[in-house]
Structure 1
Amino acid sequence: MEPTIARSYGALFIILAGVASGLEITSTGPTFIEKASGQSVMLDCHFTLAPEDSGPLDIEWSLLASDNQKEDKVMILFSGDRVYEDYYPPMKGRAHFNSADPKNGDASINLTGLKSSDSGTYQCKVKKAPGIRSRKMALNVMVKPSKPRCYAEGPTEQGKDTVLRCISNEGTNPLRYNWEKTSDTKLLPASAVLDPVAGTMNVRNASAIYSGTYRCTASNRVGSEECILQLNITPPPNTAGIIAGAIIAVLLILIIIAIILFCCCRARHRKKYEKEICNEIREDVPPPKSRVSTARSFTSVGSQRSSLGSMSPSNLHEYALKPQYDKIPSSEEYDRPPSHAPLPPPTAPKMAGPNLSRMGAIPVMIPAQNRDGSIV
């Protein structure tokens, strides 16, 4: 009984294996593909069917999860003579079957507008009962290097050490940098030390012959970009001249500051002196004369005229020169109202004798008097 059952299971396994061997994947292309971002790629998956494969044809493309804990993502599907392309939103509109009718044995797909996030392992699974076959391919989407930036770091003087740098901000590693000279002898300096990974070229003890045009190329497996640098090694500066010029400039600045301070001090002193002069009280200035009434003024003028008529020419001259006051008026006299203030004696103009005779004056002899009024 048991041998019979064993023989029955063996025959069934042979039959199923024969049936399953009818469906085959015939693609022999590379299973690892590298492409640059923005490019397109075709994932090859051709198959053949056998007469024993009589079930419905199903073709499924999926992006396998890198972590076993995650679920595979179905990208595009052919089932029931229909194509379903919108299974995976990140690939929407970018994944299409290569053939308009995949039933003819071409299950390949085209991916357009590749992104770095499209990198991963893709699986093509063809099912037509009872046959099932699949094929896996790894896709690595690399970013092409962006245009690098070239510049010189450090002094570019004779006898100094100069570093030429080349940096590309974008690009999938590994990135490599290469420096070359494109002018004159097209030979790099003998003292240059290159670092293809960091993109630097150290030039020690720079010389004028190192001046020229240099080109740096950044590259990876999917593309390259380059930049140009113009290096100019200059003679060392005249240190003595710079120091002398700095000293002269400092001295000029100090002189200008000193002049400004001197002018400010002088102007301040002059202003202070003028203020003191304005506030000073002059003691030698005589007080103002008191005003008299108009009537008394006329009376005095009349008496003066009559006196002049009785004076001789010689006495007129003596009268004019005789002082009228013997002392300075006191403060009480200054405070006296103008109506009570005594009038100063009028001063007669000096006139010659002939002139007075023409005017009708009569000479009169006036005895001389002293200061107290007594006759001498």
Structure 2
Amino acid sequence: MKMLALPLLIALFHSPVCLSVTVSSSKPKVEVHEHTDAVLSCEFRTEKDQSPRIEWKKRGKGVAFVYFDHKFSKSYTGRATIEGATLTIHSVTQKDSGEYRCEVTASGDHVNLGEATVTLNVLVPPHVPSCEVPSSVFMGSDLELLCKDKLSVPPATYRWYKDNKALTASADTAYSIDTNKGTLKFKSVSKVDTGMYRCESSNSVGAPKSCVAQQLKVVEYPLTMTILIAGAAGFLALVLFCCICVCVCRRRGCCKKGKKTKSTKSFSPPPPPPPPPIRNLKHYKQTQSFMI
């Protein structure tokens, strides 16, 4: 058995093995801070072709070339280098985030195409958020203050301050805070809500950033406005009262229109006129004589 196994092993070592190009990445997910270098690794092995064609593509709405025909595309010229098949992008920005594909083509291999995918995520520290705080608001009205930082990666969380004191919402407070959306909501503002308001955005990448504090004044309605509101409310109350009265009256039958009653007296025609006097005496006969 040993004598038979040795020739088989020798034959296997000397027999041609059909290999294909293989491509891999030692780090398929890369996270770097903005304005630093991003190294997208790509290692390959070929069967015969020692000078394969190497291409890098970025996938977005479509597929765009990064490296093709031994040169970089315009947007990467001067800020990217390649060593072997590993790509390095210098001073990356948020626009560089995305999915990259390394393709190696070895025309002499049995299977001549291999590829590996690397995802790049560029982390961006907080920016100064945009804050929307009205200068004044009427007492008793509802109010929403807005804060937004659209550039930070990962997305920022928010915190509101009044007169440089952090606001913390609870069941007892007259306001609510959404730390993910950056909103500060009041159900009914009062005089005590007057003050300087500012918002702060933060994430895990860099130091928090805050907008400039803005003055908010809670004012009472002017006298003329109060009179107009009171007059309008009184008018509406009067109209409502009249409508209720009409409805009650109709239900009780007080508002029904009287119907005309027909006369019970019967109609009697006038008596006929008397006959006319007899004027023709020719046919008159005297039946008796009168003697005196």
Q: TM-score, normalised by structure 1?
A: 0.42
Letter in 1 for 2:142: D
1:203 to 174, 179, 186: 186
User: Unaligned 5+ residue runs, structure 2?
Assistant: 1-10, 228-292
- The equivalent residue for 1:40 is 37
Residue 133 of structure 2 is aligned to residue 152 of structure 1? yes
> Using the alignment, how far apart are the partners of 2:200 and 2:52 within structure 1?
48
1:75 to 50, 64, 67: 67
> Using the alignment, how far apart are the partners of 2:93 and 2:39 within structure 1?
15
- The equivalent residue for 1:186 is 166
> Using the alignment, how far apart are the partners of 1:135 and 1:214 within structure 2?
50
Q: Which has the higher contact order (CA 8 A, sep 6+)?
A: 2
Map 1:269-280 to 2 at 5 A: none
> Using the alignment, how far apart are the partners of 1:25 and 1:54 within structure 2?
15
Query: RMSD in angstroms over aligned alpha carbons?
Result: 4.5
> Using the alignment, how far apart are the partners of 1:71 and 1:232 within structure 2?
50
Map 1:97-176 to 2 at 5 A: 97=82, 99=83, 102=84, 107-126=85-104, 130=109, 133-140=114-121, 146-153=127-134, 155-156=136-137, 158-168=139-149, 170-171=150-151, 175-176=155-156
- 2:105/2:113 contact within 8 Å kept: yes
Structure 1 166/124 Cα, relative in aligned 2: closer, same or farther at 3 Å?
same
Structure 1 47/205 Cα, relative in aligned 2: closer, same or farther at 3 Å?
same
Letter in 1 for 2:89: L
Alpha-carbon deviation of 1:110? 0.9
Structure 1 43/164 Cα, relative in aligned 2: closer, same or farther at 3 Å?
same
Alpha-carbon deviation of 1:40? 3.1
> Using the alignment, how far apart are the partners of 1:132 and 1:182 within structure 2?
62
- The equivalent residue for 1:85 is 71
> Using the alignment, how far apart are the partners of 1:74 and 1:152 within structure 2?
45
- The equivalent residue for 1:297 is none
Alpha-carbon deviation of 1:209? 4.2
> Using the alignment, how far apart are the partners of 2:93 and 2:99 within structure 1?
14
Q: TM-score, normalised by structure 2?
A: 0.51
- 2:202/2:209 contact within 8 Å kept: yes
Post-superposition Cα deviations, 1:254-281, rounded to whole Å, max 9, x if no partner, equal: xxxxxxxxxxxxxxxxxxxxxxxxxxxx
Alpha-carbon deviation of 1:63? 0.9
Q: Normalized per residue, which structure has more strand?
A: 2
> Using the alignment, how far apart are the partners of 1:237 and 1:216 within structure 2?
28
Q: Which has the larger radius of gyration?
A: 1
Q: Normalized per residue, which structure has more helix?
A: 1
User: Alignment identity in percent?
Assistant: 22
Matched residues, number:
208
Structure 1 198/61 Cα, relative in aligned 2: closer, same or farther at 3 Å?
same
- The equivalent residue for 1:227 is 211
